[in-house]
Structure 1
Amino acid sequence: MEYRRITSIQDPLFKKMHDLMKEVFPQEEVLDFELWKEPLEDPGIRVFVAVHENEVVGATEYRYYPDWNIAMTDFTIIGKSGLGIGPFLVQKRANDLMELAAENSKQLFGMFAEIYDPYRVKDHDFGGIMSMNPFVRREVLAHLGYKRLDLQYVHPSWNNDGEAVSGLDLCFMPTDPTVSEISADLVVNFLNRYYSVLPEKPAEWIQMIEELETKETVQLLPL
């Protein structure tokens, strides 16, 4: 299996990846094909696919923020079961992030991720791919060390229509498993930068940010 980076919508592997995304994610979570042009060309956004027998069988997008020494996992897709795609992507991503942090003369502090809560939202079947089942995903991510932030989380819809998307938790995986809280300022700054690409912010998101700005820290709770 190969770990291939995609940096252009002209890459034939990108269309295969985008088709896979549309199969497994809800419509409001998938950016339109043409709108991927700038993100893919952004050196700070790292999009990789797992290629097996010339087919895209998995994908992951993530980014590293050197000023905060943290990362964000945008998504991980496992397109087929029984190929070891999940461990393959996790290890390749971890190695890449460790190298990026080392170039920054740091050890990675941790990584954010938005994780579906299947106990609240039960209609995501992720294209019928059992490896992507939200109960399975949540348990796997808990085993990796992700913890949920103690807040009522929403995010702006990627349709940029000003709608709030709920049913997810904002989570953080600290490199040091003894870390039990993180700076509220870090969360606010990260979310403001991460969603700066979407000008239409829902009122619920703005209220969430304002509430975070009144706090010093945010607790990390079991997932």
Structure 2
Amino acid sequence: MDYSRITNIKDPLFKQMHQLMQDIFPPEEVLEFDLWKEPLEDPGIRVFVAVHEGKVVGATEYRYYEDFNVAMTDFTIIGQAGLGIGPFLAQKRLDDLQALAATNGKKLFGMFAEIYDPYRVEHYEFGGIKPMDPYVRREVLAHLGYKRLDFPYVHPSWNNDGEAVTGLDLCFLPMEGERIELQSDLIVKFLKRYYTVLSNKPESWYKMIENLEAKVNVGLLAI
């Protein structure tokens, strides 16, 4: 299996990847084909696909913030069971991020990720691919070492319509030993940077940020 980076919508692998996203995710979660041009060309956004026998069978998007020395996993797609795509993507992503941190003169501090909570929202459709089932994905993150940040999380809609998306948790994977909490200041700075592209955020998101700014640390709990 090959780990191939995509930086242009004209890459034939991107067409396959975009179709895979449409097969897996609900329509409102998939950015239109042409709107991917700028994200793919952004050097800070890393989009890689897993290619097996010439076919895109998985994908992951993530980014590394040099000044924070943390990463964010935007999404991971497993398009087929039984090929070991999940472990392959997770290890290749980690190797890449550790190399980026080393170039930055540091050891990677940790990685953020959003995860659906199927215990709060009963029904999610993910293309009928069992490895993408929210219960399975949640357990996988737990096994990888992710912890749930202990605050009510609000996700601004990527439609930039000011709607609040709930039913998710913001999680963090510490890279250096066991941690029971994370600095609130880091969380706030990260969220403001990550969602800077969305000009129309819901009031509940600003309230969440305000509450975080009033804290020193936020607990890290089991998923």
Q: Tell me the TM-score normalized by structure 2.
A: 0.97
User: Alignment partner of 2:127: what SS?
Assistant: helix
The aligned residue for residue 132 of structure 1 is 132
CA distance in 1, matches of 2:83, 2:19: 20
Q: Name the CA distance, whole Å, in 1 between partners of 2:149 and 2:51.
A: 34
| Counterpart mapping for 1:1-223 below 5 A | 1-223=1-223
Displacement of 1:158 after TM fit? 1.0
Distance 2:76 2:193 in 1: 21
Whole-angstrom distance in 2 between the partners of 1:30 and 1:157: 12
How many residues get paired? Answer: 223
Deviations 1:60-96, CA, capped at 9 Å, x for gaps: 0000011011000000000000011011101100110
Q: C-alpha separation between the residues in 2 aligned to 1:114 and 1:36? A: 21
Any gaps of 5 or more consecutive residues in structure 1? Answer: none
Q: TM-score, normalised by structure 1?
A: 0.97
**1:55 Cα offset (Å):** 1.1
Query: Matches of 1:202 and 1:81 in 2, distance apart?
Result: 37
What CA distance in whole angstroms lies between the structure 2 residues aligned with 1:176 and 1:114?
A: 20
Distance 2:85 2:46 in 1: 18
Say which is worse superposed, 42-51 or 119-128, in terms of deviation.
119-128
Alpha-carbon separation, structure 2, partners of 1:174 and 1:24: 29
SS at match of 1:46: strand
Is the 1:48–1:60 contact (alpha carbons within 8 Å) kept by the matching residues of 2? Answer: yes
For the aligned residues, what is the CA RMSD? 1.0
Cα displacement string for residues 162-196 of structure 1 (whole angstroms, at most 9, x for unaligned residues): 11111110000000231111111111111111111
CA contact (8 A) 2:26 2:125 kept: no
Percentage of identical aligned residues:
71
- Hey, which bits of structure 1, 4+ residues long, moved more than 4 A? none
